[in-house]
């Protein structure tokens, strides 16, 4: 590995690392330390086979469940957001779609900004196809709000989106997340 490829690798990690905030780093670091502690405990207790095996098994389970635990902690505790929609459908006399609602910071940290994503899912499709469109929507509209949001503060939003295909009726799946 030459120095140029090493610099490129480090630069790609730096681009990825700038998306994390302090709570992200704290949760990831504490998870890493717990896994390291379990590994060291496994090495220290290797003469006791059953205890060492149980410690190793717990460490392995935590290793594979750590992304899920991280996601649950971030979305349900630290970065919890409550979204209330007043209007989330096609306008009556136009081919545009209108989304109006509010976003409330129910987490424990202050947000720097929020993103409202609106996925367009065709109406009248089967459940399996609807799941497919949840993962990869036909059209996705992202609206970014750069204003800070303190704890228990409310952000009202209104979004007007032109129809991607006027011949097809869509149901809107609107979500909000903050960073």
Answer whether residue 16 shows pLDDT above 60: no
Q: 93 and 163: one domain?
A: yes
pLDDT at residue 64 greater than cutoff 90: no
**Domain stop point among 78, 98, 132:** 78
pLDDT exceeds cutoff 60 at 15 = no
Domains in the chain, number: 2
pLDDT band at 18 (very low <50, low <70, confident <90, very high): low
Q: In the predicted model, is pLDDT for residue 39 greater than 90?
A: no
Per the model's pLDDT, the better-predicted residue between 157 and 51 turns out to be: 157
The percent of residues above 70 in pLDDT, for the chain, comes to 91
Q: Are residues 85 and 172 in the same domain?
A: yes
Cβ atoms 164, 138 nearer than 8 A: yes
Query: What CATH number corresponds to the domain at position 137?
Result: 2.60.40.1620
pLDDT of residue 158: 94
Q: What is the pLDDT of residues 100-130, one digit of tens each?
A: 999 999 988 888 889 999 988 888 888 888 8
Mean pLDDT of the chain: 83
One domain, residues 58 and 110: no
Q: Which DSSP state fits 19? A: T
Indicate whether 63 and 102 sit together in one domain. no
Shared-domain flag, residues 128 and 63: no
Cα separation, 175 vs 115, in Å, equals: 8
> What does the alpha-carbon distance between residue 176 and residue 178 come to, in Å, rounded to a whole number?
7
Q: Which domain holds residue 172?
A: 81-178
Rounded CA separation 112/1 (Å): 39
Q: Do 126 and 146 lie in a common domain?
A: yes
From CA 179, how far away is CA 79, in angstroms rounded?
A: 8
Residues 52 and 92 in one domain: no
């Amino acid at each position: 590995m030459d120095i140029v490829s090493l610099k490129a690798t480090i630069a790609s990690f730096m681009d990825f690392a700038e998306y994390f905030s302090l709570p992200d780093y704290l949760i990831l670091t504490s998870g890493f330390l717990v896994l390291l502690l379990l590994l060291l405990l496994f090495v220290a207790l290797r003469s006791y086979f059953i205890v060492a095996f149980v410690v190793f098994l717990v460490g392995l389970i935590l290793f594979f469940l750590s992304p899920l635990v991280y996601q649950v902690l971030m979305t349900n505790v630290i970065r919890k957001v409550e979204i209330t929609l007043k209007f989330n459908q096609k306008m009556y006399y136009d081919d545009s779609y209108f989304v109006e609602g509010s976003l409330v910071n129910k987490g424990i940290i202050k947000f720097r900004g929020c993103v409202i994503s609106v996925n367009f899912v065709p109406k009248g499709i089967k459940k399996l196809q609807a799941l497919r469109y949840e993962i990869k929507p036909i059209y996705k509209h992202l609206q970014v709000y750069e204003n800070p949001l303190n704890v228990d503060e409310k952000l009202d939003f209104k979004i007007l989106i032109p129809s991607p295909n006027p011949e097809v009726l869509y149901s809107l799946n609107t979500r909000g997340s903050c960073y």
